Structure 1
Amino acid sequence: MQAQDIMTTPVVTIAASASVAEAADLMLTRNIRCLPVVGDDGSLAGIITEGDFLRRGELGTRRARPRWLEFLVGPGKLADEYVRSSGRRVAEVMTASVVSAAPGASLAEVVELMATHDIKNVPILDADKIVGIVSRSDLMRILLRTLPKSGSATVDDEIIRRNILAELRGQSWSVGGDLIGVTVDKGDVELSGAIFDERQRQAAVVAAENVAGVKKVTDKLFCAGPFSVVLVS
């Protein structure tokens, strides 16, 4: 799945010359958490988010530092912070360096950008023009659609068992999954066998729960400890 498959479009944007009040009003009216900022030619010039309204002189939340620390920070950074906390135009408070992605970017790439840069929204650009935006909410909607639904169709027990074993064997933390036994009776799963770390227990249960047709998972695994040797015939 690609960014263009889940992005929100059309995108609500704002001009760099607009006022901070206009930006705040638009975000509240449209119930959105960020606004891509566009220049006169329609290209992306920056982005303004809820976080840009946190440190404001009007709220009494402007960053305060001891005098000695202000000396170390330097006048340039202090001046920049003053502009961002007191500016009246969007161009003065927006983030100009925007992390963006192409329409064909994978969801994994978009999520990596969010995690690496600690951001909640990724504008999607095509030829420097914004064509959409992917937010955490968009990802949650996709997650909700893909999660197993309760009351799903009955699946044959042997198919369930094979699918659980395949999932376990595909995970590096399960050490091949060869020491974990799986039995299934009318959708009820029982896990048995050995693990070497207690954290593997919950991971094995989650792996089983995620297989279609599973109704309940019973954990009968035992922890052999990291230095134990288990012989398998």
Structure 2
Amino acid sequence: MTTSVVSVTPETGVSEVARLLLERHISAVPVIQAEGGLVGMVSEGDFLRRTEGDGRLHGSWWLRLFSGPGESAAQYVKTHGRSAADVMTQDVITVTEDTPAGEIAHLLETKRIKRVPVLRDGRIVGIVSRADLLRGLAAQRDAPVASATVEDETIRKRILEEMSASDWAPTYGVSVMVAEGIVQIWGFVDSHEQGEALRVAAGNVPGVKGVELHVSNIPAHGWE
């Protein structure tokens, strides 16, 4: 999962959410309340429905008989609201840190979603996207699956702490995996120098046997 999660609050303005998606090259952002709980997600799809909608329900007249004014009012809020709380999707599918990768892949496919938040005690600690799953599969290309040990988890935690404390480190779009002392860093960076700094930071952590850097500059079209 990607642990550096960009988020907004329910009160964040719609224009600010749109700007954040464009600047960070992401297609969705979680909505988190002041207490830290996840209350929804705003995605590109929500904005598409906003631009396409006019606040009215369309379709056969007999279907509208069963929808009632409540559904029409909810649609109006989606297409005319000004805050993240107005346009967000509230029924968010989530997983935990222990959810198997295969189950996550099944969720993404069957629910037709691009990413899923990872929760711990009701609070978001990361996001797993389709790209994260592909990176994980690519990391297994040369060797059998290796189970992460307690030492590996300690190494990964120290690398993430170093990134969090550094003003040069990427704040999104980077995944760190450690197996048998080998660190693999996947994702996007702003520059070649930023990637090299990640390599050095990981290599300086005690217990690291090697660092494999699989990063590239952020593409103009964004990433999933």
2:41 to 20, 31, 47: 47
Match of 1:119 in 2: 113
Bigger relative CO (Cα 8 Å, ≥ 6 apart):
2
**1:129 to partner: Cα distance:** 1.0
Name the residue aligned to 1:71: 65
Deviation at 1:117, TM superposition (A): 2.2
C-alpha spacing 1:137/1:38, structure 2 compared with 1 (3 Å): same
**Is 1:100 aligned to 2:89, yes or no?**
no
Counterpart contact for 1:70–1:78, Cα < 8 Å: no
In the superposition, relative to structure 1, how do residues 21 and 82 fare at CA in structure 2: closer, same or farther (>3 Å)? same
Give 2:213's aligned residue: none
* Root-mean-square deviation over aligned CA pairs: 2.4
Partner of 1:140: 134
Give 1:177's aligned residue. Answer: none
Change (3 A) 1:61 1:79: closer
- In 2, the alpha carbon distance for the partners of 1:92 and 1:130 equals 21
Number of residue-to-residue matches in the alignment: 143
Q: 1:19–1:87: structure 2 CA closer, same or farther, 3 Å change rule?
A: same
- Structure number with larger C-alpha Rg: 1
Superposition TM-score, scaled by structure 2 size:
0.58
User: Where in structure 2 are there 5+ consecutive unaligned residues?
Assistant: 143-224
SS of the equivalent of 1:124 reads: strand
Partner SS for 1:15? coil
CA gap of 1:30–1:45, structure 2 versus 1, over 3 A, is same
Q: Is the 8 A contact 2:11 2:85 kept in 1?
A: yes
1:85 aligns with 2:86: no
2 CA distance for matches of 1:57 and 1:64?
15
Residues 62/143 of structure 1: CA separation in 2 closer, same or farther (3 Å cut) = farther
Q: Deviations over 1:180-223 (max 9, x none)?
A: xxxxxxxxxxxxxxxxxxxxxxxxxxxxxxxxxxxxxxxxxxxx
Flag structure 1 segments of 5+ consecutive residues without an equivalent. Answer: 1-6, 149-233
Q: Which residue of 2 aligns with 1:25?
A: 19
The separation in 2 between residues aligned to 1:16 and 1:81, in whole angstroms, is: 18
Query: Distance in 1 between the 2:7 and 2:102 partners?
Result: 25
Q: State the partner residue of 2:9.
A: 15
**For 2:30 and 2:120, how far apart are their aligned partners in 1?**
14
Q: How much has 1:73 moved relative to structure 2?
A: 2.3
Say which SS state the counterpart of residue 96 (structure 2) adopts. Answer: coil
Distance in 2 separating the partners of 1:120 and 1:62: 28
Partners of 2:55 and 2:80 within 8 A in 1 = no
- 8 Å Cα contact 1:57-1:86 kept in structure 2: no
Deviation larger for 29-38 or 104-113? 104-113
Q: Deviations over 1:38-86 (max 9, x none)?
A: 0011111111111101122577697633544322322121111111111
Aligned to 1:185: none
Aligned partners of 1:62 and 1:37: how far apart in 2? Answer: 26
- What does 1:209-224 correspond to in 2, within 5 Å? none
Q: SS where residue 30 of structure 2 aligns?
A: strand
